[in-house]
Amino acid sequence: MKEAGPPDSLLMGVPYQIWDTKYRYRVGSVPRDQTLDESWRRIAGALASVEQDRPDVWAARFYGLLKNFRFLPGGRIQAGAGTAQHVTLFNCFVMGNIEDSLDGIFDALKEGALTMQQGGGVGYDFSTLRPHGALARRVGMVASGPVSFMKIWDSTCATILSTGARRGAMMATLRCDHPDIEAFIDAKREAGSLRNFNLSVQVTDDFMAAVRQDAEWPLVFPLGAHEPVAGEVVARVWPGASQPRPCKVLRRVRARALWHQMMRAAYDSAEPGVVFIDRVNRSNNLYYCERITATNPCGEVPLPPYGACDLGSINLTRFVSDPFGAHAALDMAGIRESVALAVRLLDNVYDISRFPLEKQRRVAHASRRIGLGITGLADALIMLGIRYGSQRSLTAAHEIMAAICHGAYRASIELARERGVFPSFDAEPYLAGAFVACLPQDIRDGIRRHGIRNSHVTAIAPTGTISLLAGNISSGLEPVFAFAGQRRVRNAAGQTETVTVSDYAYQYYRRMRGADAPLTDAFVRATEIEPREHLAMQSTLQAHVDNAISKTINIPENYPFDAFVDLYWQAYQAGLKGCTVFRPNPITGQVLQPVNVAEKDCCS
């Protein structure tokens, strides 16, 4: 099939800048990669080096997968594979449980700093820290609460960024029944506060039921080892414990009022997001041996303590034949072939990557999770003549993601036959898991006979920077925000600059049809898509994603608050694992600003 779009050799403008500043291998100031093609060969050779049989053949196959952007590995893989740099190839980690002591807090801070120094983003659950005003009996001091310590993490991240390291990304989660939940919800209302953090509330099914009933909601914290039992005590499974712990009820609030506060903060300042944590744990393939309370910074990979993200995305725009034509079609056979090779490539990452901490290496190798996803979905739909959000788009997305999911599971089974299963594999409980139980029978039979190499295989990441590298294709599963716009990007010095970018499918259309050709009905922007259509797309794809999805629902500034709240209810009822709705606001601004650029100039 003829490639849809320009070859790598035409890398210029913003894609060249992205490659040059983020992924080009340098020793000091001296470039080792002279072209992007050399970067692809570096990455392919490094990932093939662990192959026991004919690594040169696998290097050639991996190179064929990477060239012309057919498959985009995570940014840390692109930047670090085949270099002498002391970095990790895993984009993100969830860090260990934070011990509720000064030593424990600063040990956790050190682990996070070491991880960010090597290029990894970090996620934390701060629920283990006692609430503001609680007495630390051993030292006779009053606790300052989780949010106060989050500010130290935020400053540390900013300091590491100032050294020229990759921009640190952090996720903080907090239980919806933690006594400091209200302070957490409002923590980013102040401009400039906790800017290096994304925030998500761990929302339980019990809380959603309490909101529906307008019931009281207890805010609780575990009793200390020698703390006398006084007042009302309830049992809760708290982070760091596999069995319920006695927790003291410190106060009660109206569940609906707390939900309203959460929604109002998200409406006004775009945070916190919501992670439906019970659903995450019920659908986790490793429900039988781990409990999850946090995610990576963008939310697409829920992880246990010290878990890691191994990410890559199939670029759908490269599999469209006859783009914009009467016979436009998607090369599904090509996608399936690429999926099998991408699974092998991502599995190899485990065997060549460094880990900032030995605990991370042990936990990551125990599951060998990978997160194979998609990017360029919206542009591929435009090239196919399909409007994003329509029933045809949902049908196409379902077919694409089902093929990727099932192909990835089959490839992982074959890897298990060749290399062995992941260490935490236990056939019977694994096959009984909610997600695995719904897989095609041939996959389940294969797992029963041969096991599987990777506990999880699919995730849909935001892919912002790697999508810019590939010519500003639409990111992940997101619709096109604007066909031309001003975008903030970070340069090699860590400084932010504003550049003009134009959408890949739009550029391609103008090259094919000319500057004056009317746009087809498939050219639709994110703000022209109904929020329920955003949710429908996420729900359609989630059925074939065993990790999770990073998705933002864009709404206009004048969107009614009650309708905004209803979107989160719709997300919960649709079976999603989380929800983020973005409304333009003065606190966060926007990464991408539409601009009035003459259409004939957008491709220059």
What confidence score (pLDDT) does residue 6 get? 45
> How many whole angstroms separate alpha carbon 275 and alpha carbon 175?
10
pLDDT tens string 157-199: 988 875 554 566 899 999 999 999 999 999 999 888 899 999 9
Structure tokens at 266: 């998200």
Task: Give the model's pLDDT for residue 415.
Answer: 98
Closest-CA residue to 310 (of 286, 359, 260, 345): 345
Distance CA 345, CA 341 (A): 6
Cα–Cα distance measured from residue 548 to residue 578, given in angstroms and rounded to the nearest whole number: 8
What is the three-class DSSP state of 78? helix
Nearest by Cα to 128 from 161, 166, 173, 77: 173
Confidence (pLDDT) at 202? 98
CA distances from 161 to 154, 170, 355 (A): 11, 12, 19
What is the C-alpha separation between 59 and 340, in angstroms, rounded? Answer: 15
H/E stretch holding 265: helix 255-269
List b or e across 172-183, with b for residues whose CB sees 16 or more CB atoms inside 10 angstroms: bbbbbbbbbbbb
- Provide the pLDDT confidence category of residue 565 given band limits of 50, 70 and 90: very high
Is 600 a residue whose pLDDT tops 50? no
Q: Are 466 and 75 in contact (CB under 8 A)?
A: yes
Work out the pLDDT band at 591, boundaries 50, 70, 90: low
Least trusted range by pLDDT, from 23-32, 134-143, 149-158, 315-324: 134-143
Active site residue 296: yes
What per-residue confidence (pLDDT) applies to 500?
85
Please give the torsion angle defined by the CA atoms of residues 334, 335, 336 and 342, in that order, rounded to the nearest 10 degrees: 110
- What does the pLDDT read at residue 326? 95
Known catalytic residue at 271: no
High-pLDDT (> 70) share of the chain, %: 93
Can the peptide bond before residue 272 be classed as cis, meaning omega within 30 degrees of 0?
Answer: yes
Whole-number Cα distances in Å, 203 to 395, 547, 566, 577, 592: 30, 18, 16, 10, 30
List 300, 348, 547, 579, catalytic entry = 300
Q: What are phi and psi of 121, to 5 degrees?
A: -75, 160
What pLDDT is attached to residue 224?
A: 84
- pTM for the whole structure: 0.94
pLDDT of residue 142: 86
Segment 125-135 mean pLDDT: 94
User: 92-174+181-282 belongs to which CATH class?
Assistant: alpha beta
Please give the biggest Cα pair distance in the chain: 78
pLDDT of residue 590: 62
Of 92-101, 135-144, 172-181, 591-600, which gets the smallest average pLDDT?
591-600
Is residue 276 classed as helix, strand or coil in its secondary structure?
strand
- The more confidently predicted of residues 464 and 430 is 430
589 burial type by CB count under 10 A (0-12 exposed, 13-18 middle, 19+ buried): exposed
CA 320 centroid distance within chain: 25
Tell me what pLDDT residue 395 has.
98
pLDDT tens-place string over residues 34-63: 999 999 999 999 999 999 999 999 999 999
Q: Give the model's pLDDT for residue 499.
A: 84
Is the pLDDT assigned to residue 604 strictly greater than 50?
no
311 pLDDT band, cuts 50/70/90, is very high
pLDDT-based confidence at residue 402 (cuts at 50, 70, 90)? very high
444-452 mean pLDDT: 98
Nearby residues of 55 by Cβ (< 8 Å), 6 or more positions away: 48, 49
- Taking 80 as the threshold, does the pLDDT of residue 16 lie above it? yes
Read off the pLDDT of residues 356-396 as tens digits, 9 standing for 90 and up: 999 999 999 999 999 999 999 999 999 999 999 999 999 99
For the segment 244-287, what is each residue's pLDDT rounded down to a tens digit?
999 999 999 999 999 999 999 999 999 999 999 999 999 999 99
DSSP, collapsed to helix, strand or coil, labels residue 490 as strand
Summary mean pLDDT of the chain? 92
With a pLDDT cut of 90, the percent of the chain lying above it is: 83
Neighbours of 53 (CB within 10 A): 7
User: What is the residue type of 65?
Assistant: L
Q: Is the pLDDT of residue 4 over 90?
A: no
**534 has a pLDDT exceeding 80:** yes
Nearest CA among 506, 527, 505 for reference residue 583: 527
- Residue 540 main-chain phi, psi, to 5 deg: -60, -45
The per-residue pLDDT for range 536-554, each reduced to its tens digit, is 999 999 999 999 999 999 9
Q: With beta carbons less than 8 A apart as the criterion, state whether 603 and 14 touch.
A: no
Asked whether residue 210 carries a pLDDT value surpassing 90, the answer given is: yes
Q: Which two tokens stand for residue 131?
A: 């609430």
Domain layout of the chain by residue ranges:
92-174+181-282
For residue 124, the cross-strand partners are 172
What confidence category does residue 585 fall into, taking pLDDT thresholds of 50, 70 and 90?
confident
Q: How far apart are the C-alpha atoms of 162 and 17, rounded to whole Å?
A: 20
Cα distance between residue 598 and residue 6, in whole Å: 22
Instruction: Report the pLDDT value the prediction gives residue 497, as an integer from 0 to 100.
Output: 81
The residue from 157, 247, 298, 602 that is catalytic is: 298
